[in-house]
Every structure is written in C-alpha cells, then in structure tokens.
Amino acid sequence: MRLRNNRWRIYWRYAGKSYEAFILINNMDENRAKAILDQTNAALSGRPVEFPVEIQDSPAIKNYIASINPPTIIPEESDLLRKYHQNLMANTTSDDWQKASMSKINEFLQRIKTIDAITEASTLEFLDYLIIHPDTGLATRYSTRNRVQAMLSRFFNWLRICGYRDENWNPLKNIKEVAEPHPEEGIIALSEEEVNILLEAADQQRGGIAIWIAILAGPRLGEIHRLTWDEITPSVTIIRKSKTHISRTIPISIGLKERLAREPRLTNSNRIVPFPAKWGGWLPAATRLIDRLRPLVKTEIGWNIFRHTFASRAVQAGIAISIVAAWMGNDPEVCERHYARFVPAYGRDTRIDAIDPKRP
C-alpha cells in the first residue's frame, strides 16, 4: 500500500501471525522504490532472495526472519529439548523467560555437543563466556550471567527429576553467582532534594502516582502496574501478585496516603496507575514517564533507583533492615549487603512516616 508520506506499507501473515513493515522512499527514485517492493515480495514468497538493505533493520522483518529460522537443535537431543520446552510452557508464566531459556540452553548444548559433556568445568566455561565474549572482548552485564545460571539450574534439576542424571548430579554445586564489579560504589539513591523535585513533577504527569508509590513504598514496577484499589487499606499496601509469588504488606506513610486520596479513580479499571493494561502498552508508558522526568535531577533515575531510594531512606529512618527486606520481598542478606551503610549511628526512629520527604 502506497502512503502519502513517501512510504510503502507492507502487510503479510506467516504461521498465523500478522506482520507490518514500512519502506521509506524519501529522496528515492520511483523505479528503485518499486524494485525494493518487488524484492521484498520475492523474499516473503520464500524464493532464495534476501530482503532489501533498506528494510533489513525493520523490527517486523527481524521478527519474521527469526520465526522462519529458529535456533538449531542438536538432533540427538531434540526430543529431550522439546520435552523440556513443554515443561517450561506448563510451569512458567513468562514467554520471555521460556524463549530466553531455550535459546541459552540450546547455545550451551551447541558448544558442548551433548548432555553427556555437561560438567562443572564446561558449565563454568560457558557462564564465563557470557561475561567476556571471546570474539569481541566486550563485557556484558553480570546479571545476564546470573540469569542464565538460573536457567541452567532449572534445566539441570529437570534432568535429575526425569532420570536423565542421578539425584546427586549437580554441575552448578560449586559455582556461585557473580557480583557486579566495583561494589564499593554502593547502591545509588536519590537525595532529599531530588525526591522532592520528582514527586512535585510527577503530580503534573499522567501516571505520576506510580512515582509516588515507587519512592514511598518500594514495590517493583510490575507490582505497581498490577496494584488495585482493593489492595490498599488505610494503613498498608498489600502486594498479592509479586515477582516471587509471595504476598507481602508494605505500610503506607502519611504522605503517600494523602497522595492516594487525591488520585482519581479510573472509569474502566480498578487499577491505580493509568498505564495501558497490556504488556506491550504499559511498559513503554512507564519508560516514557521516566524519560520526561530524567532531565530534572542529576542522578540517573529508573524504577530500580526508586526502589533503592525507598529502602535506603527507610534504613536511614532507623527501621531494621530485616523489616525493610520483608517489605521489599527481598532476601535479608541481600538487603544487609546493599543498605547496611545507611544504618544511622544514633537517633533510631522506627516510624515509616520518617521516610516522607521534608517539604521546604
């Protein structure tokens, strides 16, 4: 379909999915534009033709190519991986986790060729490979390595349960998760002035109540998105749908209680935050909200920074780290490592209201 603003719009379907891509033809000869369209149609028809370079970076084209070229599975292990994939689909809720797990496990098996070669040494080599890529020499996020280690741990446990390996087999037994480098830099938290600036600015933004909840109660972003008015009482927030699948309660400070009282109710939903309900809508909305507030403060902000700010301010107010860990749904040892430096030497004040920003 030819559009007015110098673009071709292309629709197609494959394996029950619909795709849409655009071809920009600004400053392009009309013949070249038609040639691109013909080449694209030829590639979509399955003929041995590559997509034109002008649209190879299109997300729709990349998704389509990925769907018709799935990762290679080792033939002798294919049945095993299919069974594990079925187990993942039946027992996990996240499509992203399923796809990432299968991708990394397949990559691991491609490197070692067979499950018989899974040893502590080969597993550690693969995990270290995820930190420093041998081809580029570039370091990736350490959290990526730890996430893949969790994926492999689940896969290895499944192998034991299904009888592919004996019950004492555990290549990860002596492999520990790694910490990010430069731990001396500590947790980043917002200053008192920055908290005041962001809360005031958030009142002028659609969805700004999410900023208030994040800084003054500390839930994760997904938990904030799912929070409903039914889970708010005069004194506590009840987090029922958490990342860890364990319900918990968080006290509501006076400042947050007053702000919630001013928040208008949505007409078509019982949710508190007016983000779109679907995953593809609410996450970009949350990102855009952060982008609008980012220029207002010096600290690089994000939803995890708000969570750290809540915890550090609570500990500074004299609340025990073990209690803060329970509010956040975190391991007390992790919170001890992150927030111990915020424990005050004197004047312990256990009131949750002490974390409210001090207004000038």
* Residue at 85: amino acid letter: H
> 294, 312, 262, 273: which is closest to 197 by C-alpha?
294
**Residue 182: what pLDDT?**
45
Averaged pLDDT, 346-350: 53
Asked if residue 179 has pLDDT above 90, the reply is no
**Domain pair 75-181 / 192-355, same fold:** no
Window from 91-100, 180-189, 325-334 with minimum mean pLDDT: 180-189
Predicted confidence (pLDDT) per residue in 236-282, tens digit: 777 776 666 778 889 899 999 999 999 999 888 899 998 887 655 77
CATH of the structural domain 75-181, one choice from 1.10.3470, 2.60.40, 2.60.120, 1.10.150: 1.10.150
- Residue 5, pLDDT above cutoff 90: no
User: pTM, whole model, 2 decimals?
Assistant: 0.50
Mean of the per-residue pLDDT values of the chain: 77
Residue 37 φ then ψ, to 5°: -65, -45
Residues 249/229, Cβ–Cβ less than 8 Å: no
pLDDT of 144 higher than 80: no
Residue with tokens 């030497």: 345
- CATH numeric code, 192-355: 1.10.443.10
Long-range CB contacts for residues 276-282, cutoff 8 Å, separation at least 24 = 282/225
pLDDT tens-digit readout, 221-242: 888 988 999 988 877 777 776 6
**pLDDT band, residue 184 (cuts 50/70/90):** very low
- Please enumerate in sequence order all residues whose Cβ is within 8 A of that of 94, keeping only pairs 6 or more positions apart, or say none: none
Query: What are the contacts of 252-255 at 24+ separation with CB within 8 A?
Result: 252/217, 252/352, 253/216, 253/217, 253/352, 253/353, 253/355, 253/356, 254/353, 254/356, 255/216, 255/353, 255/356, 255/357
103-121 pLDDT, tens digit per residue, is 888 888 888 877 888 999 9
What was the pLDDT predicted at 240?
76
Q: Which one is predicted more confidently, 186 or 296? A: 296
Highest mean pLDDT among 11-20, 27-36, 62-71, 294-303: 294-303
Q: Rounded mean pLDDT of 41-49? A: 65
pLDDT value, residue 135: 46
Per-residue pLDDT at 131: 67
Read off the DSSP letter of residue 294.
G
CA 195/CA 2 separation, integer angstroms: 49
Q: How many CB atoms lie within 10 A of CB 22?
A: 14
Residue 216, pLDDT > 80, answer: yes
Can you give the residue ranges of every domain in the chain?
2-68, 75-181, 192-355
